[in-house]
Structure 1
Amino acid sequence: MSKTTSSPSAAVADPQGPLRLPGFIDGRRPGGFQLRTVLLCGLIMLLDGFDTQAINYMAPAITHDWGVSKGTMATIFSAALVGLMIGYLLLAPLSDKFGHKRLVMAGVAVFSLSTLVSVWAQNPDQLMIMRVITGIGLGAATPSTIALTAEYSPKRLRASLVLAIYCGFSLGFVVANYVADWLIPAHGWRSVFVAGAVLPLALLLVLVRQLPESISYLLRRGENAKAYALCRRIDRTLPETDKAQVEAESAGPGKRVKVTELLSGRQLLGTVLLWVVFAINLALFYGLQSWMPTILADRGYSAGTLATAASMTTIGGIVIAFVVGPAMDRLGAYGSLGTLYFVGCGFLVLMGLVLGSPVWMVLAAIFLVGCAVSGGQKSVIALAAAFYPEEVRSTGVGWALGIGRVGGIVGPLIVGGMLAGGMGHEQLFLILAGPTALCGLIVLYLGHRAKQLKTA
């Protein structure tokens, strides 16, 4: 048997006894099998981000082709968000009954095929229906993708790897931009839908053979032989045997986890507070993403600066993930994320102060705001993956993402209302620092509460 760490969490039995999860995974360095699993999950997230964002780059061509109003296009944009909420809230919990792999593959198949059908949409109503279905598929796949990454990652690397695959979502935004810029002039906007369908369908063929099922799910189903076979793929030195040799902390019968289980007992307060952080963070993210171009245009910056600014927010979120992820793993998830939010308050204040300054200063400030807001969004997902135990992780993450989407919907409305009411840009960024600080306080409190519950 391969060497394990001396950490108490690496509770692996002797060769004559059963392997115990999660100690078996926590006590080993991630090997090729686990890293390949994480890579596949990252590719799913990249295609998720591509499909989510591509419609935004197609909008001018669709508007010109069909002669639709901006209001109609806004409804088409929102359709995918509605589908996402349905997938997050209603379908993600099904993975606890049917397995993460099945739900991931079903979700990828749904959003691939609905995107392909969108190629033949003849009017806004048809496209809107397809976008709802696409969102449902995306919402069904994402929580299970995160849950699989978390389960196959050692605890000391869990936050880093969950953040890494979620960077794939942001990279999908960037890829969608370049693909749309390349395809639309030569082949029209429908060609982007073709690309958005063919790529995940090709990946689906790989997922069927290469994506593993959750080991804990198999144990809850009583399929110990399959669970042990996956453990052997993690550690090839384990002996071949036809006897069940794996145990988990929780291996009750497979069933659908009800949201009431997240809102009962010790989970209640933590779940509600986590939802608040998700909602605030996404409100800030979408509010700033929606109105930053308008704010910069009002201050006289060029169209080229506006386009660069949009990418700087995403780049900031990706760059900071490589700092916050290891910090969450090594220094503590709650303290690291709480610190990011508090530092983000300063970045938002700085953003207000540099408006009207040279372009490089403004772009640098937007990059830093992206570190806090976009990076915070990714990091709180990693926190949720650590907050919930494996048997409710997909449901917990799915509902947190779903509730967070409410913030994503109202955020642009709130920021727009503040600007319409005559609020100055500097004052706006100063006020937005308040909710960011609240997120930091909540996260630190959750960390304090987790320590208390552990010692209780």
Structure 2
Amino acid sequence: MDRGDGTEHGDAVAPSSYALVVLGGVSYLLLMANWFALAAFLDPISDQLGFTGAQAGALVGAIPLTYVPLSLLTGLVLDRVGARTGIAAALAVFGVAQFLRSFTVGFPDMLATTVLLAVGATAITFGLPKLVAGVFPPRLLGTMSTVYLLGSYAGIAAAYSVGRGILGPLLGGWRPTFRVLAVVSLAFLAVWVPVALWHAREHGTPYDEGSESAFSLTSVREDVAQVFAHRAMRLLVVVGTAYLLLAHGLQGWLPTILESRGLDPGLAATVATLFVVGQAAGTLVIPPASDRLGRRRPAVVGCGVAAAGGVGWLVVAESVVGAGAAVLVAGAAVGGVSPLIRAIPTEIEDVGPALTATAVSLIFAVGELGGFAGPFLVGTLRDVTGSFVPGLVALAVGATAIVLAGMGLPERTE
């Protein structure tokens, strides 16, 4: 029955839930600013600490690789302790990790502190879909996933434009910039914790009846088996792997790729930021349109086609304008598919909000193999061939997996 405000009984959303998700988006912004600070400063850090191309690629891919063993465990924990608690813990962990990264003097300690940052990153990545699924009805999942993902894109852009472009020169290099990012992240806990506690007390998780269930070996096994039993989930794992291959392969190396074509560092960073602009545009347009039309398969397939075309265009682009346009197209495709792989699992029967964190973590547990392979392949193939073209071709070929797996998704997951 209509309430007169555009919602129905049992499908209403507390206004403060929107504010909570916006704050969740800020936590994602802070995570990605800390995460991609390494990629933004990759050249000066590599020069100062003596990293090879393979070592630099391994560091850029270290966080995605850490997701492989940790993702499923994090998802299972979040489905039991709740998203609000998990996000608070994540802020503390990646804030401390970033602070420690600022003191590293070589490859082993940079790798160790980057892996620690990844531990906090997993709880943000899977906690936010869990949070949205618990406080919003299914009709709004794609749209609200867009909200927090915009925060992640803003964080990546901030790492390059604010971190490398402003804070680095102002503060005197990457070490003090890393420390400032760490302190801001830890300070945000003073905002998140009281708001999250108040919202939990006042509103709970109205769309997640299974939230914060008990730990037991039997329940863990049952949850994993239940999630993996669906063909749609297995196809989403393929889509997620290809998406992460592209996202991390491009985000980690774009400034360096563009500098290798003769662009000065400032212009290269600006063009690289267009990838984030494209992601934001794709995220703003594609998932809400998919929500309105109730069509998931064409959205996923279309993103795969555009991703392959954008990366292919970047390979042959000879001008700054052409490279910028190619980066925008690839970014829009990646940005469009990103919320979909987080929203679709909630719509699958026997998964739903109660197992959202476990389902999304399964996608990333396997998919981050692609997240590691992307930057590692680009760096290693550059070492072997002296060119970034083979790595970009590999990313374009990988994008076709999104098309093929997307074509196999049911029109309505059930």
Give the alignment's TM-score, normalised by structure 1.
0.75
**1:282 pairs with 244, 254, 265, which one?**
244
**2:115 pairs with 125, 128, 132, which one?**
132
Whichever residue aligns with residue 77 of structure 1, its letter is V
The 1:302/1:69 distance shift into structure 2, 3 A limit, reads: closer
1:414 & 1:348 partners in 2: Cα distance?
Answer: 19
Whichever residue aligns with residue 404 of structure 1, its letter is G
Corresponding residue pairs, total: 407
Q: Cα distance, 1:189 vs. partner?
A: 2.4
Q: Cα distance, 1:294 vs. partner?
A: 6.9
**2:278 pairs with 293, 296, 316, which one?**
316
Q: Cα distance, 1:277 vs. partner?
A: 0.7
Q: Cα distance, 1:411 vs. partner?
A: 2.8
Q: Cα distance, 1:214 vs. partner?
A: 9.3
Residue equivalent to 1:408: 371
Whichever residue aligns with residue 117 of structure 2, its letter is T
1:190 & 1:120 partners in 2: Cα distance?
Answer: 7
Residue equivalent to 1:218: none
Contact 1:87 1:137 (8 Å CA) reproduced: no
Residue equivalent to 1:114: 97
Q: Cα distance, 1:255 vs. partner?
A: 3.3
Q: Cα distance, 1:327 vs. partner?
A: 0.7
- Consecutive unaligned residues in structure 1, runs of 5 or more: 13-23, 216-225, 235-245
2:47 & 2:379 partners in 1: Cα distance?
Answer: 26
Whichever residue aligns with residue 372 of structure 2, its letter is I
Deviations 1:240-287 (A, max 9, x none): xxxxxx897657953365366344488332222111110012223333
Whichever residue aligns with residue 399 of structure 1, its letter is L
1:423 & 1:67 partners in 2: Cα distance?
Answer: 20
Partner of 1:211, secondary structure, is helix
1:428 & 1:247 partners in 2: Cα distance?
Answer: 42
Contact 2:16 2:199 (8 Å CA) reproduced: no
Partner of 2:136, secondary structure, is coil
The 1:266/1:89 distance shift into structure 2, 3 A limit, reads: closer
- 1:183 equivalent in alignment to 2:167: yes
Contact 1:286 1:411 (8 Å CA) reproduced: yes
Residue equivalent to 1:230: 203
1:417 & 1:306 partners in 2: Cα distance?
Answer: 21
Residue equivalent to 1:15: none
- 1:391 equivalent in alignment to 2:354: yes
The 1:248/1:149 distance shift into structure 2, 3 A limit, reads: closer
Residue equivalent to 1:440: 403
Identity value in percent: 24
Q: Cα distance, 1:134 vs. partner?
A: 1.4
Residue equivalent to 1:344: 306
Residue equivalent to 1:35: 18
**2:127 pairs with 144, 151, 157, which one?**
144
Contact 1:149 1:161 (8 Å CA) reproduced: yes
Q: Cα distance, 1:379 vs. partner?
A: 3.4
- 1:368 equivalent in alignment to 2:341: no
The 1:385/1:195 distance shift into structure 2, 3 A limit, reads: farther
Q: Cα distance, 1:100 vs. partner?
A: 2.0
Contact 1:338 1:443 (8 Å CA) reproduced: yes
Contact 2:79 2:130 (8 Å CA) reproduced: no
Q: Cα distance, 1:293 vs. partner?
A: 5.9
1:86 & 1:320 partners in 2: Cα distance?
Answer: 30
Contact 2:68 2:367 (8 Å CA) reproduced: no
Contact 2:295 2:412 (8 Å CA) reproduced: no
1:285 & 1:294 partners in 2: Cα distance?
Answer: 15
Q: Cα distance, 1:385 vs. partner?
A: 4.5
Deviations 1:97-126 (A, max 9, x none): 222222221121111122223344454433
Contact 2:22 2:147 (8 Å CA) reproduced: no
Whichever residue aligns with residue 340 of structure 1, its letter is G
Whichever residue aligns with residue 207 of structure 1, its letter is W
Q: Cα distance, 1:144 vs. partner?
A: 1.1
Q: Cα distance, 1:363 vs. partner?
A: 1.6
- 1:197 equivalent in alignment to 2:182: yes
Q: Cα distance, 1:328 vs. partner?
A: 1.9
The 1:300/1:169 distance shift into structure 2, 3 A limit, reads: same
Contact 2:238 2:401 (8 Å CA) reproduced: no
Contact 1:118 1:127 (8 Å CA) reproduced: yes
The 1:427/1:79 distance shift into structure 2, 3 A limit, reads: closer
**1:210 pairs with 195, 203, 228, which one?**
195
1:413 & 1:292 partners in 2: Cα distance?
Answer: 13
The 1:424/1:248 distance shift into structure 2, 3 A limit, reads: closer
The Cα RMSD (Å) is 3.8
1:266 & 1:77 partners in 2: Cα distance?
Answer: 29
Whichever residue aligns with residue 317 of structure 1, its letter is Q
2:67 & 2:254 partners in 1: Cα distance?
Answer: 24
Partner of 2:291, secondary structure, is helix
1:373 & 1:162 partners in 2: Cα distance?
Answer: 14
2:193 & 2:213 partners in 1: Cα distance?
Answer: 25
Whichever residue aligns with residue 371 of structure 1, its letter is A
Residue equivalent to 2:3: 3
Contact 1:262 1:271 (8 Å CA) reproduced: no
- 1:254 equivalent in alignment to 2:239: no
1:213 & 1:306 partners in 2: Cα distance?
Answer: 44
Q: Cα distance, 1:376 vs. partner?
A: 2.2
The 1:152/1:373 distance shift into structure 2, 3 A limit, reads: same
Q: Cα distance, 1:55 vs. partner?
A: 1.7
Whichever residue aligns with residue 165 of structure 2, its letter is D
